Chain A
């Protein structure tokens, strides 16, 4: 409630700035006493020509006034374009087509040893024939080089982004939908329904995440689920166990909104319960929900990356950012010698999570005028 009032006051103040252009007109109007006296003898008649903004537009304006949120938005949007439209244009390499141009690797070594006072030097050259072009450096052929198996890293980044973003978006939407429905029902009806749903939430929040995911990973192994589908199964589990956070948020909001007089008015109007919940209560919870969604998008990307890194989620030969970083566990030298094999994927994860968090923070500030600095 307080929030709403605050929003109003700020918005009015904002309006004064917005209408600057038409302010003179407004003043003129005021000097003419009662243009339309039949219609209204009320206080401060609003000028017809002044375009006032809807609450949503005001939020958008405030959002774009913060640099950080614009940066976040740019980061997120460019990642999207990169992942979803990139592969349409950069078709030189596929996700699972290695660069199989043979590579001959030469290694030289030299040993010195002394026997019977004589010093021997043995020079050795090893010629290694590889079936694919592994750890290629940056070149016109491979924009970011290749990894151990000769996969093009640039291409795999795009495909990895696809799966990370898709999976986390799906998960967040399902979580939000579940959370809104369950939290809405609990908050609106109260009583034993509320108790039941909240206790289910408590139980779900008690379950340890990673150990259960490891077990599910094993089950998927034994069921022989393929490398690109596994992540969806794991995310279904994550979704089913992550909605309580959203449900609690929605329930709390609805509990406070339910006591508002406009909800009593809706009751007096004889609206049905679904109408009251989904047309009157949920739109007023939307601000908090949007913030929650954008912040949990970041954490879902991290989750996805973690699972893939642990080799539970997306598995080679399919690409995901986490899987790409997983390469450092195969060979200890990679972390020092071949930064290109794992660095870009890590940077992508950082950009995605940062971007979503910036957007979330920006939205929260835009929706909550009390947070102004």
Chain B
């Protein structure tokens, strides 16, 4: 139960051994020791470097966008961006905006579970909903099942909707209070014509059985159920249209721990039996570790690290991921916990820091991090990260 929100704000020395020694000094006083810096960022040189970087990024983006779709991937997200306008001029021109999701790319293959972790407010939920087109995206592409659904109108989306579903965080507000369980579950079946009309009830009862709901719940109302049972109803509703992809938006965080395990196991069983693909959003690392095949770590709207679960847990590349994982409590009291403590609060996404978004809190931030946003690159096979520290050996060689 490592809640990221609980990361203590405390000053402590960095514990990881992957980071070169010299960077520690910068952490203490990056300005006071300019001779330690590898690159200077001043005046023209700085502008040129940033421009160069921006150009390279733009080129990379264009190249990525024009690439053919990955035929095997169920969901491919390319440079997804979602910004909410904060202020508008009279003519409707956006003056300032909150960038909730910025430049997120990943691929998800059928049958896999991708766990998305990150602090509260880092854009996990927004990303999930933007992928489902519950929010219109403000840039990038979402390719679902070989089709670019980015520009689909709501009419075209209706067909796609039954293939991608969502389970919400709060089982109390996500069920309509005035319909019975049977009504809630049979309405989508009826609307999408999943089975012929006379078989709807049998289908729904079968589905309820699969989700651990008894048949006499059919006539009951949501208010008669506890949180865990309601979440089962939500799961049954999401699965009633036989989706391929299910976005689980923190499905267990509103439940108590014993029920969490039941729901997680139910989700796992259903995945096995129905061949589902999950995009599992959570801030609970132990849950994500248990259910996921791949993990994406988000910070302030960007994906900072992405890879197979084992790769990420055995070799976390990004300092944020390391800080996050160090917060997982170890049940063995003899093991000394080496925690990476992050200073300060998460910056506001309405006014994100320049350069690397994590540099304000990064224990190993360099001067370059303050000015240039790091590139999201593949460092090992299938293991992506965005951090200047990983490029540092190259910078030193120059």
Contacts and interface: CB of A to CB of B under 8 A. Distances in A.
Interface residues of B, number: 45
Of the listed residues A41, A44, A265, A280, the one surrounded by the most CB atoms of chain B closer than 10 A to its CB is A265
A268 B229 contact: no
A254 to B, nearest CB: 14
A260 B173 contact: yes
Contact of A54 (B162, B165, B217, B221): B221
B161 A269 contact: yes
Given A44-B226, A261-B174, A283-B178, A52 B221 contact: yes
A4 B177 contact: yes
B241 interface: yes
Contact of A42 (B158, B162, B262): B262
B157 A270 contact: yes
Contacts of B168: 261, 264-265
Contacts of A46: 217, 220, 224-225
Interface string A272-300: 10010001100110000000000000000
A270 B224 contact: no
Contacts of A4: 177
Contact of A269 (B173, B217, B241): B241
Interface in A33-60: 36, 39-46, 48, 52, 54-55
B348 to A, nearest CB: 22
A36 B214 contact: yes
A264 B237 CA distance: 13
B170 to A, nearest CB: 6
Nearest to B227: A43
A186 interface: no
Contact of A284 (B132, B176, B214, B220): B176
A39 B209 contact: yes
A1 B174 CA distance: 11
A258 B71 CA distance: 37
B200 interface: no
Nearest to B170: A261
Nearest to B237: A265
Interface stretch (A5-13, A118-126, A142-150, A333-341): A5-13
Contacts of A262: 173-177
A268 B223 contact: no
B174 A12 contact: no
A42 B175 CA distance: 19
B337 interface: no
Interface string A248-271: 000000000000111011111111
B29 interface: no
B188 interface: yes
Nearest to A270: B161
B172 interface: yes
B191 A275 contact: yes
A44 B178 CA distance: 22
A13 to B, nearest CB: 11
Interface string B171-203: 011111110100000011001100000000000
Given A269-B188, A270-B161, A11 B223 contact: yes
Given A8-B223, A11-B223, A42 B191 contact: no
A1 B224 contact: no
Contacts, number: 103
A52 B220 contact: yes
B165 A40 contact: no
Given A52-B224, A262-B173, A270-B192, A43 B165 contact: no
B132 A268 contact: yes
B19 interface: no
B352 interface: no
B328 interface: no
Contacts of B161: 268-270
Interface string B122-142: 000000010010100000000
B157 A1 contact: no
B213 interface: yes
B349 interface: no
Interface string B216-255: 1100110111101100101001000100000000000000
B4 interface: no
A284 B262 contact: no
Contacts of B225: 46
A55 B177 contact: yes
A268 B178 CA distance: 19
Contacts of B226: 42-44
A284 B237 CA distance: 20
B134 A268 contact: yes
A79 B259 CA distance: 56
A262 B222 CA distance: 12
A54 B217 CA distance: 13
A12 B191 contact: no
Nearest to A281: B176
A12 B209 contact: no
Of the listed residues B166, B173, B223, B224, the one surrounded by the most CB atoms of chain A closer than 10 A to its CB is B223
A36 B129 CA distance: 37
Contacts of A280: 176
A42 B212 contact: yes
Given A41-B212, A43-B226, A267-B134, 11 more contacts: A12-B224, A36-B214, A40-B214, A41-B262, A42-B212, A265-B168, A265-B237, A270-B158, A270-B159, A270-B192, A283-B178
15 contacts: A5-B172, A12-B224, A39-B212, A40-B212, A42-B232, A43-B228, A48-B216, A261-B170, A261-B174, A262-B173, A262-B176, A264-B129, A264-B134, A268-B166, A280-B176
Interface of A: 1, 4-5, 7-8, 11-12, 15, 36, 39-46, 48, 52, 54-55, 260-262, 264-272, 275, 279-280, 283-284
Interface of B: 129, 132, 134, 157-162, 165-166, 168, 170, 172-178, 180, 187-188, 191-192, 209, 212-214, 216-217, 220-221, 223-226, 228-229, 232, 234, 237, 241, 259, 262
| CB-based closest 7 A-B pairs | A270-B161, A261-B174, A8-B223, A270-B158, A261-B173, A262-B176, A268-B166
